[in-house]
Structure 1
Amino acid sequence: MLALAAGLALAAAGPAAAQSASAPTPKEASPGLDPTLLGSVLQRAAALPRLHALIIAHDGVTVVERAFHGPGLDQPVNIKSASKTVMSALVGIAIEHRVFTDVDQPIAPIFAGFLPPTPDPLLGRITIDHLLSMRAGLDRTSGPNYSRWTQSADWVRYILARPFVDQPGGGMLYSTGDTHLLSAALTRVTGRSTLALMRDWLGGPLGIAIPAWPRDPQGIYVGGNDMRLSPRALLRLGELYRHDGMVGGRRVLPQGWVQASWTPRTRSPHTGHAYGYGWFITAARGHPVYYAWGFGGQMLYVVPDLGLTVVMTSNPAAPSNDGYVQDLHGLLADGIVAAAEAAGKPAI
């Protein structure tokens, strides 16, 4: 079925698409990835009309870079909710810089003056840990509530006035508002914008461009949505995590932050996958997989035990929960991971 779909897509798209779906070029050959299976991965990828770009790195070497549709690999694109993963990295660095004390720090004192006139006592129990893992207990600002929240006059006050539907530290309530509070907290405590902090703390060390993204009515950069990074910049972020927060011998993320981020703290009621600090956690063919996920199919995968970092960017205007994200998960598991496994097997 996949082969048929690939053939139909190539026939419709013409020679350019056919070249994109061909077997790996010599530049893309890798002793760590089976070339036949890798060629099949590229065919499958080219047959996905929403997929804009695919980058595969093995042991730090980029073995596939393809722009199938949409912007080029160095063009910043809207990574949607994969922004939550970036915010998690910023919070880790903020703790290292003593901006925050630790993940157990309550947030209510940071937002003194922004709480409701008669605040729910549960607000005093929300910590940075709860925001990172989306377990604040406040009614969601994502999904059907997103537009009402983003149309409000003061996003932070709106979030803090949401009713509690669970205890802080309870189940996962996927809510961009939680991550926006982290952006607002960084801005309030440091007196600097999240954009400026991101450029200093991540952009410089990783050597990536970080353009501005939307802000709320008070000028706070949106936490957890609409950041813009190129596919190659996303790859560098993934490699930073694969190397336990180090880049070029320099520590960028604090010691232990990657492990903390990749420790399951709750579970998504929608996918069943575990969730840490801005990262979903699952497995592919028995290998642990950590991934960032943005609306439409903006994906960053890290498979540490196989040395894999994979970026997939897609049309940001189309939803990915209609089965498309399963296509991307399948491309990773049955294609890329399988190619890494096959290359590692001794010849008979």
Structure 2
Amino acid sequence: MKRFSAGSVSLDEKKKEALEKELRHDPVRTCSVLIEDQLVFTYESERGDMETPRKVNSITKSILSAAVGLAIEHGYFESVNEPLSRVFENGNLPERYKEVTIEDLLTMRSGIDWAGNKPMIESGDWTDFIFNQSLKDKPGTTFNYVCANSHLLSAAVQKRTSLSAEEFVGKHLFAKLNIKDAVWDKDPKGISTGGFGLEMKPADLLAFGSLYLHNGRFGGEAVLNEEWVRTSTEEKTGTDMGNQRYGYHWWVNPETNRLPYFYYAAGSGGKYIFVVPDRKMVCVFTSDYSRKEGVKPFTLFTRYLLKGFKK
């Protein structure tokens, strides 16, 4: 890939051999690693896969998180504490949703009682459908990972900026990362799908990860507010996924005796962007695992790549 130079760091030969054997056996399309912005490992199941756009599923959520940060930076939202009653003040917002904040949506703590995406997708107005759902928990208290939160964020970005999330991100983020081929699905009302639906090249996912590794800078230019990068990738809540934590639409792996702190974007089927600040590392997987097996790249990353490189 032209945008990243080859690095002098190499993966331990035994680990490399074992990893590549698993990659060839499993439905991994690509695996790539940057260390200090040098491309130190690349695997493609077929030549050209790194430059082939694919659906990234819930990695879309982490891109949307950047959109919210940019919207705050440009003055479209006052802060993450802004309630939906101020964002959707001209609509028929149910009373129970009025105190839900942007932060509640970002941390998956809105309290929405959610039975799955299918009924929403089949409706003619996704935002209206979500607002017709009840709240089972008090906003800001209980983590529940549902795409409804993300779609309301996308609707809020469009409400305030008068641009879809796709248009807003294209203008303020993707253009500065030289990302040209991203395509984002829309709901029947023209709102970019918040929780899924973005199609990107694996090489572009690396660039997005590099932006976060460098605290919002890319190619020497400030693209995203440094404070937003820091706060959105800090743990804000516990989750129902073991010891994993959640920030602002980013997953957070806390430091343990076995693993360092790192954060990651994750999409169903084994799509991941891992960012490890202490090791100056970004790792991207794109895969076609089943939903049940989609955690496999996490295991491959921690087993072979996280501590496997040497100068």
- TM-score norm. by structure 2 comes to 0.92
Deviation digits for residues 91-126 of structure 1 (CA, Å, limit 9, x no counterpart): 10110000111110111222234435xx23x31211
Quote the offset at 1:58 in angstroms.
1.1
Consecutive unaligned residues in structure 2, runs of 5 or more: none
Which residue matches 2:23?
45
Question: Is residue 227 of structure 2 the alignment partner of residue 256 of structure 1?
Answer: yes
Q: Structure 1 residues 269, 70: CA separation in 2 closer, same or farther (over 3 Å shift)?
A: farther
> Which residue pairs with 1:277 in the alignment?
248
User: Judging changes above 3 Å, is the alpha-carbon distance between structure 1 residues 319 and 270 closer, same or farther for their aligned structure 2 residues?
Assistant: farther
Distance 1:28 1:203, change over 3 A: closer
Aligned residues: 305
CA distance in 2, matches of 1:319, 1:176: 19
1:230 maps onto 2:230 in alignment: no
Q: Please give the per-residue CA displacement for 1:72-103, whole angstroms capped at 9, x wherever unaligned.
A: 11111100011000000011011000011111
Displacement after TM superposition at 1:212 (Å)? 2.8
Determine the C-alpha separation between the residues in 2 that align with 1:195 and 1:187: 9
Q: Aligned ranges for residues 176-191 of structure 1 at < 5 Å?
A: 176-191=147-162
* Residue ranges of structure 1 left out of the alignment (5+ in a row): 1-26
3-state secondary structure, aligned to 1:166: coil
| 2:119 counterpart (129, 148, 158) | 148
Partner amino acid for 1:126? V
Matched, 1:67 2:38: no
1:168 Cα deviation after fit = 0.6
Note the aligned Cα RMSD (angstroms): 2.0
Q: Aligned to 1:338, what secondary structure does the other structure show? A: coil
CA distance in 2, matches of 1:135, 1:115: 22
- Which of residues 330, 338, 345 is equivalent to 2:299? 330
User: Does the residue aligned with 2:86 lie in a helix, a strand or coil?
Assistant: helix
| In 2: Cα distance, 1:115 partner to 1:293 partner | 33
CA drift of 1:166 comes to 0.5
One-letter code aligned to 2:97? L
1:137 corresponds to = 111
Does the CA contact (< 8 Å) of 1:290 and 1:302 recur in 2? yes
Decide whether the 8 Å contact of 2:108 with 2:149 is kept in 1.
yes
Stretch of structure 1 that moved more, 60-69 or 127-136: 60-69
What's the offset of the Cα at 1:211? 3.3
Given that 1:115 and 1:160 are in contact with CA atoms closer than 8 Å, whether structure 2 keeps it comes out as: no
Following superposition of structure 1 onto structure 2, how do residues 1-348 of structure 1 map, counting pairs within 5 Å? Answer: 30-31=8-9, 33-48=11-26, 50-68=27-45, 72-115=49-92, 119-120=94-95, 122-140=96-114, 144-282=115-253, 283=255, 285-315=258-288, 318-320=289-291, 322-325=292-295, 327-340=296-309, 343=310
For residues 66 and 225 of structure 1, the distance between their equivalents in structure 2, rounded to whole angstroms, comes to 25
1:182 Cα shift? 1.1
SS for the counterpart of 1:300 is strand
